[in-house]
Amino acid sequence: MQIFLDTADVAELKALVDTGLIDGVTTNPTLVAKAGKPFRPVLAEICALIPGPISAEAVATDAAGMVREGNLLRAVAPNVVVKLPLTPEGLKATKILSADGAKVNVTLCFSAVQALLAAKAGATYISPFVGRLDDGGHDGMELVREIRAIYDNYGFETQILAASLRTPPHVRDAALAGADCATLPPAVFRALYKHPLTDLGLEAFLKDWKASGLSVE
């Protein structure tokens, strides 16, 4: 499963890119606003930092506007993925842009039939929002499983990009459900390393090694 970071914070990305584990980045208008910098220069910096897919969202609400903005975003760097909402206008724009060779991430997916429409429109990625469904008392991960089954039934190539993941168990469950990618905040990525037994085990090994008086050299 590919791991994307859900952030527009360039400093955060610089701190984590050296792990070699980051496959891409997703951004949205909220994250970009928090960055407090002009959008396209920030996007260009992110695209240069991480060669994988970088999702950047159009903010127009009509198909023509989304296509226009999508083409502006694509011009920033070849690894830009145009992010569009799962609305009738968004799917129209997805069809147009994907036919022109653009990669499109259809976002704000909350049902399996929405995901079916996105795949038919030619989306490269579909982003089911797991955490937001959980907030409403639903099983967000069940949506990922449903989409996986539908896409496998019909051979759709659209990749499932599990979004709104808030904890390491969310990441685990997305992998088990067959998501192709998962996008997570930097804090959740850092938490993937954590386990108390790992820390205790390392502490014991180092203590024993020190007491032995041995050397690796």
| For residue 91, pLDDT beyond 90 | yes
**pLDDT given at position 54:** 98
CATH class for the region spanning 2-191: alpha beta
Mean pLDDT of the chain: 95
- For residues 183 and 138, give the distance between their C-alpha atoms in angstroms, rounded to a whole number: 20
Q: What is the average pLDDT across 76-80?
A: 97
| For residue 77, pLDDT beyond 90 | yes
**pLDDT given at position 208:** 85
- Check if the beta carbon of residue 50 is closer than 8 Å to that of residue 25: yes
Percent of the chain with pLDDT over 70: 100
Q: How far apart are the two ends of the chain, measured CA to CA in Å?
A: 38
Nearest to 2 by CA among 78, 87, 105, 96: 105
The 10s digit of each residue's pLDDT in 192-205 is: 999 999 999 999 99
- For residues 204 and 186, give the distance between their C-alpha atoms in angstroms, rounded to a whole number: 29
| For residue 101, pLDDT beyond 90 | yes
Q: Which residue ranges make up each domain of the chain?
A: 2-191
- Region of poorest pLDDT, from 87-96, 120-129, 199-208: 199-208
The 10s digit of each residue's pLDDT in 16-38 is: 999 999 999 999 888 888 888 88
Q: What is the average pLDDT across 167-194?
A: 97
Amino acid letter, 130: V
Q: What is the average pLDDT across 35-51?
A: 91
Q: Which runs of E-coded beta strand occur in 19-133?
A: 24-26, 54-57, 80-85, 104-109, 125-128
Q: What is the average pLDDT across 147-152?
A: 98
Percent of the chain with pLDDT over 90: 88
Say if residue 155 is exposed, middle or buried (CB neighbours under 10 Å; 0-12, 13-18, 19+).
exposed
| For residue 144, pLDDT beyond 90 | yes
Residues marked active site are found at 83
